Every structure is written in C-alpha cells, then in structure tokens.
A and B are shown apart, each in its own frame.
Chain A
C-alpha cells in the first residue's frame, strides 16, 4: 500500500510536468492551429532562465589569496559574488540560494517576449501551410534553440538547486497514519505539484472568467466569425502564444531542482507531451491536463519492481501502449473535439 501511494505521488509529479507542457501545446494548437514542435525547447529555455539568473546573481569579483594555490600552483583566485559585497555575506548567499523561485519572476517577461517573437517572426507565416510544414519548421527551430543553448552553456547538466529551506524530504506517511519513514517525499516535488495546479487553475480561470478569455475561446471555436465582429483576434492569439510559452517556461524553471537542466531536456519531454496531447484529445485543454496526470501515474506504476517482474520492459512502453489502446477505442482521444485534425 505504501509503495503504491509513493508511486502515486511520483506519478502526480511527473504528470505535473507533462500536463503543463501539454497545456501550452494545446493552447497553441487550439488557438492558432499550429503543431508546435518547438514547445519542448520553450520548456528548456525556461529552465535555462533559472540557470542564467543563478549565474547573474553569482557574478563575482576576484581576490587573490596568496596562502592558497590553484591547480597549477599559482596563488588562488577567490571569487566573491557582488551581491555579497552589496548586501552582506549572509543576505547575498540567501539571494543566490533563492535563485530558482526568483527566476519565476525573471522568466515571465523573457518567455512572453520569446513567445511573441516566435509567433510574429516565424509561426504566423505558417498558419495556412500544411501541418507537415509547421512540424518541420518548428522542429528545426527547436534544434536551433537547443544548439544555441549548448553553445552558451555547454552540454553537461548544470546543477540548479532549490533553496536550502526546501531541500530534503517530508514524512508524508505520518500524516496518513503510516509509520515514520515509510512514505517520505521531497519538499520540492510537492511544491512543483502545487505550482502546476496553480498555473493550470490560473489558465482555466483566465479563459473562463475574463472577457479576453471568452473571446479567445470563441475564436478557438470559430475564428472567422469572431473576426467579422471587428475583434482583432490575431493580436489575442499572439498573446495566447506568449502565454503558452510562459507556461512552458515556468514549468521549466520550477523543474530545475528536480533534474539539473541540460540542453536536450526539451526533446526528452517533447515526444511524451505530444502523446499526452493526442491521448487527451487534440485541442482539448482539460483533456491535456487529464491525460498528463493519467500517463504520469501509469508510467510511475509501470516502473515498480513488482510490475516489471511480471512484464519486463513495461516501463518503457506503457505510455505508447496506453496511447494505442485509447486511440483505437476513442479515435479523438479522451476529450477530443469533433473536427479537429479530421479534415
């Protein structure tokens, strides 16, 4: 029972990342009709916003310590961050320590700008082109973005830890009446799940309860009619692209303490996220979220030793297996709309 509960928590956690990326993908597909293969790269860029802020906050000046030697036997150069000089050692270290939560604020304008630039600079030229062209151009863009990040940050993962206060794990089992140390779960993963829920809730509330969101939903249903009403739907859709980029970027920022960012992390998530979108139903926002959590949980359970001993290798194929079964029984996915990708 405890093992199942632990894997359930894990699944919710994996599902959070899948759901956030799939939510952004569906926003773009639902509003603009564009299949955005560069969406994983946006997730990766978000993660590197956290790395960049961590580096900016750690910018240092050097002091020579003649007592100590560097690897060549020369006097050691010690780097002291400017924030420590300006705010004092303790406060400076705290600021650097909190670089990931601070990066959430740092990433929002950057991701919005990248989203707008991508849509206006490239994607808008492909609205009327076949989906295959859109896939090719966005996939190419993903590779370009990936290579740029690799050029500036290198190929190795870059540790970007959570603040000291949120490292370590929480005895979740005690809350549920289990013995101590039976179900312990990392603080940051719980924060990531809560963060995902807040973002998902905010996006739905925005679309559901604001006039802007109402117009966008109307545009998603019938773009031409909304345009005939004199509403500049294109401008709204550009904003939606920026919003989708920001959702992916924030998912990336908050993911960095879970796994150190590297330049190909977007590609690692991209294929899975597309499976999530297809299983949820192309164009369906609730479908994307539901499928994200469902597949995250299934993947987590499939990697349990008890299940792997019966079905070896199931952890590697479970998502695709479930996708095949769902698409055979419900060709539009779990919550797919009629007419989407069916012409």
Chain B
C-alpha cells in the first residue's frame, strides 16, 4: 500500500500549479475563454460616448452625440444604413455587433481632463461600457486614453489633433481616426507656398497647451521648409477672451503672415481681433498681410462669421467631399437632423463603425483581439479615400482636406470651400519621427 502524504497546504499548492498549467494553453488558443473587462454576456453590448455636453465645445459635443446615435441606429438595422453600405468591409449587416443589439450611455467631459476621466470611469465601472469614444480636446483624449488603457477597454478617440495622442502619449488600447497637427502642416505648407509664395515672415499666436504646442511646432517646421521665416511665437492663455494686446505687437513686428494656432472660441476671438485691427488690409514687405488658421472646423467658421472669408486652413473631412461614403453619410445625417454633419460628427461616426467591424472580424469583444483587427487595417468608403490604421502607433492615414473660408457663402452651411485634397502619401511620416518620439505603445490590456 502506497503511503499518501496529503496536507491542506500541499493540496492547495498542487491545485494552484495544476490549474495555472491547464489554463496556460487557453491564453494562446482560445481568446473567448478569457475574461476581460465588461465582457458582454447577454443579448446587448454597451458603448460609452463621452462628449463635451457643457463648456466651450458643447456644440461640437452635441454634433458628436448626434453622429453616435446615428451610428447605433444604423448598426441595429434602423435608418438607411449610412456609410455601412459604402464601407469596404462588409461585416456590418444591421444586426448589431456580433449579433448583439447595441446600447449606449453618454457622459459629459466638460472639456476638462479630470471630468472626462471621471465620466469615462463611471461608464466603464457602472454601465459596463466595453468601448469609449468621443471628446473634442487633445487634453481630454490623452487623459481618457490613459484611463482606458488602465481599465482594459478600447478607446476610439473622437476629435483630437495633438501629435502627442498618437505620439508620446500613445497607448495600445487607443486608436485615432482624426488627423493630427503634423498632417495639417504637411498638407497646408505647399498650398500656402502656392497662395502666398516662399518668401514670407510668419508670426505665431499659440494656445498654451499640448495641442497648441504641437500644432505650432508642426506648422513652423513645414513653413520653414518652404522658405518662410518665423518672426516670433507668442503663447496665449487658454482662458484668454480678448487677444487685442497680443495682436497689437504683430503690426510692427515685420511679419507679413499671422498664424493662429488657436481652436474653438479662442480662434473665433483672435481672428475677430486680428481682422478688427486691420491686419488683412495691411501691406507689409510689399505683400498683402495674410492670416492662416491651420486647424479649421465648420462650427468655428460659423462663429467667426465674415472674418473667415479667404483664410486657409485644414480639415480632417468636409461634407462637400465627392466620394460615395461622404454622400451617404451627409444624406443620412442631413435627413435626420436638417443640417450637414461637422468633421467631429464624421470622425465619431466612422470610429463607431470601425470598432463594430473590428469586433465582427475578430469574432470577439476582447480588446486585444479588437486591437489586433484594427492594427494595419486598410479600408475605404468612410470618406477621405483609402485609409490605413497604422499598427505602430494606431494613427489613421488618409487624404487631408485643405480649405479656405468662402468669400460669398450661398447659405449658412456653405462656409468653406475645398482648395485641395492632399493625398495621403504627402502627409505620412515614420512612426519614430521626432515630433512623435517618446512614450511607447506598450501592450494591450484586456482588463479583468
């Protein structure tokens, strides 16, 4: 008779080791068997839409929310399907995501990083959101992206234009469809050379936070590469409302171009002040004085009124693009809401479809599987032509739209005209480009 020496401690130890040993192969072979944060177990799946519902970007947030609601309607088989019919990937069939009906919760970022993190946390922990999307500030995007990485859910960024979002602050769980400051500058510089020549002296006013800094760095480098000189760069507080004391020194600085690295209300006010001080009527160095706004939005153009006429800038997308995806989205959005969608609405709609499609292709809601499905994914039919979600930094690469404020708008939506659609190849850069250096993508976190 063999002697057994069973002790409580020995059984526990052996059981733990054996259990871990048996579990190991499943990690590599059967992802569906692994638990992850907010794994949907019923007939529904919950997405979290975190947008500014109050604060200075509330109008952008409201448009983002409209787009999210439209995307959910289309995913669940309602409406006309919008861009689902033009999307090159054909996994979306109106039956939800992987057969589960899509539900959503919303949060208010207030365009503040701490408030955005708090609302995203609540959506993940209390509402069981498996993906977070939205936002309209790079400060918010970077903060929420970090939170999603820690929590183990996917972050499909909304409107964020700082290089840092997919540069030094990039995260494996975060994906950006929107373009960035480098791409704006790369698209804009050749157009500026055509419009204003290669012998210009630029004066920059820059919003004093992550987006402003990378925007200014990018446009300075791109314009200097075409021969422009940089006279000065003055940082302005984000809370500033009257920019006249910053505009006044431009008059006698020797500059013949003013670059406004401002967004939202800041841009509306600084541009109004610049026009009011007669900068556009001035002649300096025997050239007409010009103003450039590197990042445009139609909502901002509406705020700036006639002052925007003739001023060039860049956009991620414009509702007047002629491709079939854009037409389908504008029709769908326009018929539902009575006005054309903004670029913020477009990027949020596209991100929702891209997430849903990635889950269907991966046949899993596991964030690591979804991330893998998005990395290196090439698609078309969502506006801007063929697009790549680059694996190295999770940045989308697509054509960039260079626009100009329209001189004689025919209606209230006809505020900007498309000057050029800059091909994707012209705005691409290496993942280790110095403006995107630092930080690491890391590895995906599936959470629980």
Q: Which of B31-39, B92-100, B273-281, B421-429 contacts A (4 or more CB under 8 A)?
A: B273-281
B390 shortest CB reach to chain A, Å: 33
Apart from A155-B59, A181-B251, A260-B305, 9 more pairs, CB < 8 Å = A71-B411, A72-B330, A72-B335, A150-B54, A155-B55, A155-B56, A157-B269, A169-B278, A303-B246
C-alpha spacing A257/B293, complex, angstroms: 21
Interface residue total, chain B, C-beta cutoff 8 A: 48
Tell me whether A154 and B269 are in contact (CB under 8 A): no
What residue in chain B is nearest A70 (Cβ atoms)?
B411
Chain B CB within 8 A of A292 CB: no
Q: Which of A70, A156, A185, A299 contacts B59 (CB 8 A)?
A: A156
Q: In the assembled complex, which residues on chain B have CB atoms less than 8 Å from the CB atom of A316?
A: 237
Chain B CB within 8 A of A36 CB: no
A3-B252 in contact given A265-B241, A305-B232 (Cβ < 8 Å): yes
A169 shortest CB reach to chain B, Å: 4
Q: Can you list 24 A-B pairs with a CB-CB distance of less than 8 A?
A: A6-B249, A10-B244, A11-B245, A14-B244, A71-B319, A72-B331, A72-B335, A156-B59, A156-B303, A157-B265, A157-B303, A161-B305, A169-B276, A169-B278, A181-B251, A181-B282, A189-B276, A257-B276, A259-B269, A260-B303, A260-B304, A264-B56, A305-B234, A305-B249
Q: In the assembled complex, which residues on chain B have CB atoms less than 8 Å from the CB atom of A186?
A: 276-278
Tell me whether A13 and B276 are in contact (CB under 8 A): no
A96 shortest CB reach to chain B, Å: 13
A240 shortest CB reach to chain B, Å: 29
Contacts of B250-305 to chain A: CB distance below 8 A: 251-252, 265, 268-269, 272-273, 276-278, 281-282, 299, 302-305
Q: In the assembled complex, which residues on chain A have CB atoms less than 8 Å from the CB atom of B59?
A: 154-156
Chain B CB within 8 A of A182 CB: yes
Q: In the assembled complex, which residues on chain A have CB atoms less than 8 Å from the CB atom of B105?
A: none
Interface residue total, chain A, C-beta cutoff 8 A: 47
C-alpha spacing A259/B59, complex, angstroms: 18
Chain B CB within 8 A of A262 CB: yes
B202 shortest CB reach to chain A, Å: 15
What residue in chain A is nearest B276 (Cβ atoms)?
A186
Chain B CB within 8 A of A140 CB: no
C-alpha spacing A280/B408, complex, angstroms: 48
Q: In the assembled complex, which residues on chain B have CB atoms less than 8 Å from the CB atom of A133?
A: none
C-alpha spacing A186/B280, complex, angstroms: 13
Contacts of A288-338 to chain B: CB distance below 8 A: 299-300, 303-305, 308, 315-316
Q: In the assembled complex, which residues on chain B have CB atoms less than 8 Å from the CB atom of A299?
A: 245
B389 shortest CB reach to chain A, Å: 29
Chain B CB within 8 A of A139 CB: no
Task: Compute the total of residue contacts between A and B using a CB distance below 8 Å.
Answer: 121
Q: In the assembled complex, which residues on chain A have CB atoms less than 8 Å from the CB atom of B302?
A: 156
Chain B CB within 8 A of A222 CB: no
Tell me whether B234 and A259 are in contact (CB under 8 A): no
A308-B334 in contact given A3-B249, A189-B244, A299-B245 (Cβ < 8 Å): no
Chain A CB within 8 A of B57 CB: yes
What residue in chain B is nearest A2 (Cβ atoms)?
B252
C-alpha spacing A195/B365, complex, angstroms: 63
Chain B CB within 8 A of A184 CB: yes
What residue in chain A is nearest B253 (Cβ atoms)?
A305
Chain A CB within 8 A of B58 CB: yes
Q: In the assembled complex, which residues on chain B have CB atoms less than 8 Å from the CB atom of A72?
A: 330-331, 334-335
C-alpha spacing A186/B62, complex, angstroms: 35
C-alpha spacing A155/B65, complex, angstroms: 15
Contacts of B400-424 to chain A: CB distance below 8 A: 410-411, 413-414
Q: Which of A13, A71, A150 contacts B244 (CB 8 A)?
A: A13
Contacts of B302-340 to chain A: CB distance below 8 A: 302-307, 319, 330-331, 334-335, 339-340
What residue in chain A is nearest B412 (Cβ atoms)?
A79
C-alpha spacing A181/B251, complex, angstroms: 8
Tell me whether A161 and B306 are in contact (CB under 8 A): yes
Tell me whether B234 and A184 are in contact (CB under 8 A): no
Tell me whether A258 and B265 are in contact (CB under 8 A): no
What residue in chain B is nearest A155 (Cβ atoms)?
B58
Q: In the assembled complex, which residues on chain B have CB atoms less than 8 Å from the CB atom of A232?
A: none
A171 shortest CB reach to chain B, Å: 9
What residue in chain B is nearest A262 (Cβ atoms)?
B265
C-alpha spacing A87/B242, complex, angstroms: 37
Chain B CB within 8 A of A168 CB: yes
C-alpha spacing A259/B10, complex, angstroms: 76
Q: Which of A14, A71, A155, A188 contacts B413 (CB 8 A)?
A: A71
What residue in chain B is nearest A71 (Cβ atoms)?
B340
Chain B CB within 8 A of A145 CB: no
B213 shortest CB reach to chain A, Å: 14
Q: In the assembled complex, which residues on chain B have CB atoms less than 8 Å from the CB atom of A168?
A: 278, 281
Chain A CB within 8 A of B239 CB: yes
C-alpha spacing A184/B281, complex, angstroms: 11
